[in-house]
Chains A and B, each alone.
Chain A
Amino acid sequence: QKEVEQNSGPLSVPEGAIASLNCTYSDRGSQSFFWYRQYSGKSPELIMFIYSNGDKEDGRFTAQLNKASQYVSLLIRDSQPSDSATYLCAVIRYGNKLVFGAGTILRVKS
């Protein structure tokens, strides 16, 4: 079982729709959770981080964490073509080891 799992996609949504990206992790001791966006050929950039159960909102983005289910998600409202990228879920494990999922490709069609 991979430490951090994501559906590789591609996930295709029309412009203006809500995109829902999901991530599960295997280590119950994981403490911090991050969503990064990566455009082709570029380095990842942070979108959001979340530490506590529940929702955290920042503009068009909402991160949701459920530690009991070992599940973290990212919702993107009013999706724009510029949101088309690969979204990486990352988890900090014990010992400050930061592990990434393989990423989900998002395509927003205008």
Chain B
Amino acid sequence: DGGITQSPKYLFRKEGQNVTLSCEQNLNHDAMYWYRQDPGQGLRLIYYSQIVNDFQKGDIAEGYSVSREKKESFPLTVTSAQKNPTAFYLCASRDGNTGELFFGEGSRLTVL
């Protein structure tokens, strides 16, 4: 089945540790996005990529890094510089014809 796969679904991290969230898509979409969602809040854009080997900062990129070496993959690293990393992280890819975003099931990160 085509779709977006995020892993892990749940992740616990100690303060000061970096962690990488995986996002893989088999929809052949060029554009991919990472959003952060805090309880009771909307989605805030972290990074997005419109094509392989290119990405742009979103509204809250500080403390995060990404790479886009393959069309199918857009991993997000949450670094120790991110002050409040506990959140629900959503990856998405966008259909270039309709603009629709297709979301993964999300990764819930908790910093202990």
CB <8 Å contact, B101 and A88? no
Tell me, in angstroms, the Cα distance from A103 to B43 when the chains sit together: 9
> In whole Å, how far is A6's beta carbon from the nearest beta carbon of chain B?
8
Stretch of A43-51, A56-64, A75-83 with 4 or more beta carbons under 8 angstroms from chain B? A43-51
With most chain B CB atoms within 10 A of its CB, the pick from A49, A98, A99, A103 is: A98
CB <8 Å contact, A43 and B103? yes
Stretch of B12-20, B61-69, B78-86, B92-100 with 4 or more beta carbons under 8 angstroms from chain A? B92-100
B98: A residues at CB distance < 8 A: 49
CB <8 Å contact, B99 and A49? yes
CB <8 Å contact, B42 and A43? no
> In whole Å, how far is A25's beta carbon from the nearest beta carbon of chain B?
13
CB <8 Å contact, B42 and A103? yes
Number of interface residues of A (CB under 8 A): 22
A95: B residues at CB distance < 8 A: 56
Q: A99 with B45: in contact, given A43-B103, A43-B104, A46-B101 (CB under 8 Å)? A: yes
The main secondary structure of chain B at its interface with chain A is: strand
A90: B residues at CB distance < 8 A: 101
Q: A98 with B45: in contact, given A49-B98, A92-B99 (CB under 8 Å)? A: yes
A32: B residues at CB distance < 8 A: 99
Q: A34 with B101: in contact, given A96-B94, A97-B48, A98-B33 (CB under 8 Å)? A: yes
Query: Which of B31, B41, B100, B104 makes the CB contact (< 8 A) with A49?
Result: B100
Closest 6 CB pairs of A and B: A102-B42, A43-B103, A100-B43, A32-B99, A100-B42, A103-B42
